[in-house]
Amino acid sequence: MTDPVLSGSRGVPETVRQAVEAGVRAVQLRDKDATDEEFVAMARILGPICASAGALFLVNDRVRLAAACGADGAHVGQDDMDAATARTMLGPGAVLGVSVRTAEEARAAERAGADYVAANMVFATSTKTDLPGPLGIASVRELRSVVTIPLVAIGGITTENASEVLAAGADGLAVVSALMASPDLPGDVGRFFALLSYYSKTWK
C-alpha cells in the first residue's frame, strides 16, 4: 500500500517499481489527501508499472475512479462504501477487497461478493488513526474461521511479526511502512516472501 510521505525522496513510483520487481503481487494506491485529479494522475503512472511485472493494481476507497485509473479493482473500508454497492460499481470481473474487524463484517463482505477480506489493524500502526485499537492475533484466527475467501492481514505488519499472522491463518500480508520506508526494499520483500513460502501461503 502506497504512502507519499513514507516513500520519502525515493517517491511512490520508484518504490512501487522496486517492490513489484522484487516480487510484490499487488499494489494498492492509497492517498487520503490527494485530489481526484492527483489520484488519477498517480494511478496512470503506477498502473503500467504494476502491469509490466504482472502485479495487480488496486485503488483504495475511490471506487468511482477505478475505471479512470485503469485499476484491476478496489479496496473499501466499512465507512467508505457498502461492499455490495462497490461490487455493482466495479462489475463482476474486478477485484474487490473489504476491510473488516468482526466476524459479522467478514461474512457480510463475502456474501456481497468480496474477493478477499482484510483484518483491519492487527497491530498498532501510525498509518491508521481512526480505529479503536489493534485486533490482535486471536481476531485473525476468528476471521479466518468464518470466511472461505482469502484473508489478508494489515496494520503494523513487519518481517518480525508476519509469522504470527500467517500462523494464525492469514493468506496474505498488506504492508505500508515496512516497505514504503524500507532502506532495503528488495531485501525486505524477499524476507516477507520467505515467510509466506514457509507457511505455504499464496496470493490468489
User: What is the spatial distance between Cα 119 and Cα 150, in angstroms, rounded to a whole number?
Assistant: 11
Catalytic residue among 25, 64, 107, 128: 128
| Angle formed at CA 18 by CA 14 and CA 19, multiple of 5 degrees | 115
Q: Is 177 a catalytic residue?
A: no
Catalytic residue among 7, 17, 30, 182: 30
Cβ neighbours for 7, distance < 8 A, ≥ 6 positions apart: 14, 15, 180, 181
Going by C-alpha positions, the residue among 2, 16, 25 that lies closest to residue 196 is: 25
| Angle formed at CA 111 by CA 122 and CA 78, multiple of 5 degrees | 45
The H helix count followed by the E strand count for the chain is 9, 7
Catalytic residue among 17, 62, 87, 99: 99
User: What is the spatial distance between Cα 75 and Cα 147, in angstroms, rounded to a whole number?
Assistant: 17
Going by C-alpha positions, the residue among 85, 58, 88 that lies closest to residue 73 is: 58
Q: Is 30 a catalytic residue?
A: yes
Q: Is 17 a catalytic residue?
A: no
Q: Return the amino acid letter for 107.
A: R
| Residues with a known catalytic role | 30, 99, 128
